[in-house]
Amino acid sequence: MQEREAEAEMVTPGEVLGKGSEVKPGKGAYLSHHNNTVYASLTGRRSLAPASPESPDQLFVLFFQTTCQRPTVEVIGHKAHGPVPEPGCVVIARVTKVMAKMASVDIMCVSSKSVREKFSGVIRQQDVRATEIDKVDMHSSFRPGDIVKALVLSLGDARAYYLSTAQNELGVVSAESMSGGTMVPISWTEMQCPLTGQIEQRKVAKVGA
């Protein structure tokens, strides 16, 4: 085997790069702990490189009492890329579709930085709020075009990040009414159109959070 192997295949966010028992995630890669699988977190070229001999692989030392090392898999972008969503970070996203059990979104910002890649997200019914989960109505929580603030839970299996709005400070931060006005929040579950006074249901982010 060569000292360094570089594969020309292009990968996109969410593609499987290998099992965590066989490779370590490097730049542009992400380890999902629930299934011990390494995924790509950006678009680019897959690269595989051996670990440094001076840096024993602690996973193998711990479990196999040997200094065998896993190669590191990376995704090298063909151009400079912006921020990448990571579990635990807060994102700003636009709702694109609302279904009975989930809402689909396009992630626009990670923290305060705009993304340059296309990242999709999903807010599942069980992740909309922290209480009375079984009573959540997705169509009363979000509408297409809404701007939401959400927490990244993990990278899902369908090339979309799982997002949560369960915390008080998370949820819809900007929405347009059916009359075209920019609505203002009047409670954690309602927003009002300033043009018509009409009230619409939303999972509203806590004002001032």
Domain boundary (52, 76, 100) is at 76
Domain that holds residue 114: 90-201
Q: Are residues 110 and 193 in the same domain?
A: yes
Please give, one letter per residue, the 3-state secondary structure of 18-49: EECCCCEECCCEEEECCCCEEEECCCEEEEEE
Q: Are residues 103 and 174 in the same domain?
A: yes
Q: What total of structural domains would you count in the chain? A: 2
Query: Quick one: CA torsion of 114, 117, 118, 124, rounded to 10 degrees?
Result: -70
Q: Give one word for 3, left, alpha or beta, with left for phi > 0 and alpha for psi -120 to 50.
A: alpha
Q: Are residues 168 and 194 in the same domain?
A: yes
Domain boundary (76, 104, 128) is at 76
CATH code for the domain in which residue 99 is found: 2.40.50.140
Q: Are residues 68 and 95 in the same domain?
A: no
Q: Are residues 95 and 172 in the same domain?
A: yes
> How does pLDDT run along the chain (209 residues), one tens digit per residue?
343 444 457 887 778 888 988 888 888 888 877 788 888 877 788 888 876 655 555 544 444 444 457 888 888 775 556 788 888 999 999 999 999 999 999 999 998 888 887 889 999 999 999 888 889 999 999 999 999 999 999 887 667 899 999 999 999 999 999 888 899 999 999 999 998 999 999 999 986 54
Asked if residue 206 is part of any domain, the answer here is no
